[in-house]
Structure 1
């Protein structure tokens, strides 16, 4: 494996990672922002109020997007095996 192939695989991997993780992070960010605004309005300073809903919503989003995430990762793996290693 040459350094160019390694760099191509690494770049594609980072691209797939960012594509997969972005929706989850955006939803978590939005939920955190909404809860922070709610806490500011009501003057509630409870730490677990931000933690629990963000975890629950994040798990729900991962569950809903699991098929899409798995397909992206399988496409990436197939592309590596066929393009760079000549398998399959």
Structure 2
């Protein structure tokens, strides 16, 4: 395997990683911003208020995007297996 092929596989893996976890991170970011805005408006500084809604939102997003995530990871594995077969 040449350096270019290694870089191509690494780029493909990083792209797949970002596409797979991006929606979950975006949901956590948006919910965190809404909670911070709510806390700033109400002057309410309760610690559990920051964690519980974020955990629930991330869990719901995981349940919604799990098929998409599995398909992305499966496609990456298929592409890597094809490279192994062709190169070997």
Q: Do both proteins adopt the same fold according to a TM-score greater than 0.5, normalized to the shorter chain? A: yes
1:48 Cα deviation after fit? 1.5
- How do residues 9-48 of structure 1 correspond to structure 2 at under 5 angstroms? 9-48=9-48
Instruction: Quote the residue 1:54 is aligned against.
Output: 54
How many residues of Structure 1 are paired with residues of Structure 2 in the alignment? 86
Provide the secondary structure at the position in 2 that maps to 1:80.
helix
Residue ranges of structure 1 left out of the alignment (5+ in a row): none
Residues 54-74 of structure 1 deviation map (CA, whole Å, 9 limit, x = unaligned) = 111101101110001000110
1:22 Cα deviation after fit? 1.1
Distance 1:55 1:3 in 2: 41
Q: Which structure carries more relative contact order (alpha carbon 8 Å, separation 6+)?
A: 2
Residue ranges of structure 2 left out of the alignment (5+ in a row): none
Query: What RMSD over aligned residues (CA atoms) do the two structures have, in Å?
Result: 1.2
Q: TM-score, normalised by structure 2?
A: 0.90
Distance 1:66 1:2 in 2: 34
1:37 Cα deviation after fit? 0.9
**Structure (1 or 2) with the greater helix fraction:** 2
Distance 2:22 2:6 in 1: 24
Distance 2:47 2:5 in 1: 46
Q: TM-score, normalised by structure 1?
A: 0.90
Give every structure 1 segment of 4 or more consecutive aligned residues whose post-TM-superposition deviation is greater than 6 Å. Answer: none
